Each structure stands twice: as C-alpha cells, then as structure tokens.
C-alpha cells in the first residue's frame, strides 16, 4: 500500500496525508529492520558490518579501537535515538541487538581490556575515597 502510492485525487486534495504515510512507512521500516537483525541472516549481515567497523570504534583509549554495535536506548518509536546515529531512531536496532549477537556468537565478544585507567597525580595513585567524593561534586569535608 505504501509502495504503491500513486497520486490520486484524494491525496492531491490533502498533501499532509502523504507526509503521514511517509512517516508511518519510516516507522514501519525501522520496526521491521529491528526484527530482521535478530534473525540468523540479519545477525550474520550485522556481524560482517561489525567486523568491518561500519558502526565505528570505541573512542576510549583502553578499549584499543574495539568495534562498536548499534543499540536503541528505548523500544518505543521516536523516544530515544541510537547514541552514535543521532538521526536514526533507536527502535531501528532495538534495545537487545548487541546482547543477541554476542549470545549467538560468544566467540566475537570483546575481550576485557588488559590495561585499566588509574588516576594519578604527581606520580601518586589517587585514593578511592577522593575519587568517590569528586563524583558528587560537593566540597570536600575536612578529614580528621
Ligand atoms: Zn569502549
């Protein structure tokens, strides 16, 4: 119905109607896409893109250019965008896609980073208590 759109008299009378149909088609495509990438064929295609780095690489230094996977932050259309693809509705990927991929193919799960960031100042490791206190962004109380 959406693809067979031909300008008929009803649509010419109301041009907003075709915009609504287009928006509905976009949403429908996104939902079909999110369902498709959970199938075996979809996972295989997404895995290929993941390995080619089509979804980008993690910018964190200790992740050492780990390829990324897209994920929606909400399952509801129009509610949350995919963090990397700000123009793409998160529902196009669904909230569970990365988990499904790594459940089906555990061999592709990223390894834990060998190195971890240790905050230091003048060569001294910063005490955990001070790190926690700075997270609250409140002035430090004097330590007795
Ligand atoms: Zn990372």
Ordered domains of the chain (ranges, CATH): 9-110 (2.20.25.20)
pLDDT tens digits along 24-81: 888 898 889 999 999 999 999 999 999 999 989 999 888 889 999 988 877 777 666 6
- Of the two residues 107 and 7, the one the predictor is more confident about is 107
Confidence band (pLDDT; 50, 70, 90) for 136? low
CA of residue 70 to ligand 1 center, whole Å = 13
CB atoms within 10 A of CB 22: 12
CA of residue 143 to ligand 1 center, whole Å = 35
pLDDT tens digits along 98-121: 999 999 999 999 988 888 888 889
List, as ranges, residues with CB under 5 A of the ion ligand 1.
Answer: 58, 60, 63
CA of residue 38 to ligand 1 center, whole Å = 23
CA of residue 63 to ligand 1 center, whole Å = 5
């Amino acid at each position: 119905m959406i693809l067979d759109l031909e300008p008929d008299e009803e649509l010419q009378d109301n041009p907003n109607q075709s915009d609504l149909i287009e928006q509905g088609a976009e949403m429908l495509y996104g939902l079909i896409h999110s369902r498709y990438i959970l199938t075996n064929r979809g996972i295989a295609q997404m895995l290929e893109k993941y390995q080619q780095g089509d979804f980008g690489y993690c910018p964190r230094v200790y992740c050492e250019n780990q390829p990324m996977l897209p994920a929606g932050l909400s399952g509801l259309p129009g509610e949350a965008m995919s963090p990397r693809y700000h123009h793409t509705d998160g529902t196009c990927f669904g909230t569970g896609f990365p988990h499904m991929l790594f459940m089906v193919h555990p061999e592709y799960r990223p390894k834990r980073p060998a190195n971890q960031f240790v905050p230091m100042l003048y060569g001294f490791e910063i005490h955990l208590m001070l790190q926690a206190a700075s997270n609250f962004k409140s002035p430090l109380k004097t330590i007795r």
